[in-house]
Copies of this chain bind each other. A is one copy, B any other.
Amino acid sequence: MSDSLTNISTLNNGLRIATHHMPHVETVSLGIWVHAGARHETASQHGISHLLEHMAFKGTNRRTAMGIAEEIEAVGGELNAATSLETTAYYARILKDDVPLALDILADILQAPLYAQDELEREREVILQEIAGTRDSPEEIAYELVQEAAFPSQSIGRPILGTAESVKSFTADDLRSFLKQHYTGGRMVLSAAGNLSHDAIVRQSQALFGSLSAGADGGYEPARYVGGPRMSDKVFEQSHLVMGFSGPSYRTTDYYTGQVFSGLFGGGMSSRLFQEVREKRGLCYAIYSSMWALADAGLFGIHAATGHDALGELIGVVNEEFAKAAASRPSEAEVARSKAQIKAGLLMGLESSGARAEQMARQLLLFGRLVDTPELVERIEAVDAEAVRSFAEKLVAGMASVAVVGTGESSGAYAAQAAQKAA
């Protein structure tokens, strides 16, 4: 990115610092994105990335857990974190004068966590409740089943939270060892957007993170898509259908084709799925498609919920729409509408300091450079109707990953029906 408001620096240990100055605002969003997540776990480490993220807030050499919370909230700041398959992010939103405090806390919790035994025991209980909460969401159950169907026996096919057993199994030494191996300078990006000074952030980061080892990037096994039907025998008021197909990674031009397809297929109110399923048939309150991408793989997915007795009709309609999309090109108007929505979304994202900081961090981790909006727009513009049709054709030529949740014992038969028709 070449504008004078955006700057990148790299410390000797490889830690990259990206900032974007927004002079008209009073606050700053900033965080550390680490290229370490559930995907970097071995089978016996299942859930350790997420537990480690939780334990970052439970005290350091210099701060108690309560001290961390009090210091950031005393200045009106917010501190949070999130673990995903390939990255773990620790981020804050603060008033512009409090950048030094936020950086100091982030450096502390990432480099000097205590992992005290009593805190570890209690945090396991918290995560068990977090896991129990997902068991009460038919949507989350369905997404988890599709992830497992798509990538069975792989770290990217497992729930990020881990299992009750795995969460109970980790010791403080396991956490320390995972931290030392994966939380290294070369795998971290510090990204900040708001009313800030790049030079001041670099100076302070040098002091705070300069002694962190460079480390090597962590390898992981390549993704292997499989697919197939899955079900849960739980009964809910509604039946949830989630279907996934092997999709492009972030690194391919197909990714942009997929975004255009997703927009016109199940993106907004004018999309095919919304019109066919909600507007013409009244089957669902919401139906949407989404692109979910990793460095070397991805899933194109759709989700909808309906009454048990309408599930068969829903599956039929969705598969018919997939077949139509593969068989003939979308209209120029549909393609143009989807592109317009993606481009407007890019502009809207730039106005939020949090979205901008996250975008810069993800681009540096994925591409090793920032990709500016004109370049993204160019890639979107390059997609044409035939590329969209061909994308849909390739999608549905593969085995679908399907989960049906909510219909009880019949869920399995519905999932098999959906997977078969879609293949």
Contact = CB atoms under 8 A, between A and B. Distances in A.
Contact of A70 (B127, B270, B342): B270
7 closest A-B pairs by CB: A76-B344, A125-B282, A122-B282, A69-B269, A69-B270, A76-B340, A130-B285
Contact of A347 (B26, B127, B128, B132): B26
Contact of A337 (B65, B73, B79, B122): B73
Contact of A275 (B66, B279, B306, B345): B66
Contact of A270 (B24, B73, B342): B73
Contacts of A408: none
Interface of A: 22, 24-27, 57, 65-66, 68-70, 72-79, 93-95, 121-130, 132-133, 135-138, 236-238, 268-270, 274-275, 278-285, 305-307, 333, 336-337, 340-345, 347-348, 350-353, 406
Contacts of A25: 351
Contacts of A306: 129
A268 B78 contact: yes
Contacts of A75: 340, 344
Contacts of A79: 269
Contacts of A351: 25-27, 352-353
15 contacts: A27-B347, A57-B269, A70-B337, A73-B268, A74-B336, A75-B344, A76-B343, A77-B344, A123-B282, A124-B282, A126-B284, A126-B285, A133-B238, A136-B138, A136-B236
Contact of A129 (B279, B307, B353): B307
